[in-house]
């Protein structure tokens, strides 16, 4: 991969969503990750699929739905604080009201 892209399994591992790269690769190959780039959404089924800064990833892990924007690719699997810098959580564009108005 170039410095402009990283393999999706490597990125998921560097971002600390998985303990090992092989677990990340298996998760991706099971078709459990969706990638949105330039408005086009696709299911990722190959661990070698490149991700780029600005891509959106959505996947379910540990009983919760994770939706993130790739902010950086990273050069290594660093400490958790460094890993959190690789992504930002996506905000829901339309949220349901919290309750009836008073």
Residue 28: CATH number of its domain? 3.10.290.10
Residue 97 has pLDDT above 70, yes or no: no
The pair of three-digit structure tokens given for residue 94, joined into one six-digit string = 């339309």
pLDDT tens track for 37-73: 999 999 999 999 999 999 999 999 989 999 999 999 9
HSE-CB for 39 with a 13 A CA cutoff: 0
- Residue 71 domain flag: yes
- The SS3 of residue 23 is helix
- Residue 102 domain flag: no
Q: How far is CA 4 from CA 73, 75, 82, in A?
A: 8, 12, 19
- Residue 95 domain flag: no
Q: How far is CA 78 from CA 1, 33, 75, 90, in A?
A: 19, 23, 9, 22
């Amino acid at each position: 991969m170039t410095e402009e892209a990283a393999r999706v399994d490597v990125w998921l591992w560097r971002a600390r969503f998985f303990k090992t790269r092989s677990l990340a690769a298996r998760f991706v190959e099971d078709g459990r990750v969706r990638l949105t780039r330039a408005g086009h959404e696709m299911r990722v089924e190959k661990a070698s699929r490149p991700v780029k800064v600005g891509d959106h990833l959505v996947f379910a892990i540990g009983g919760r739905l994770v939706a993130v924007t790739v902010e950086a690719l990273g050069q290594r699997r660093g400490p958790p604080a460094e890993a959190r810098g690789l992504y930002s959580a996506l905000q829901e564009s339309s949220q349901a009201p919290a309750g009836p108005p008073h």
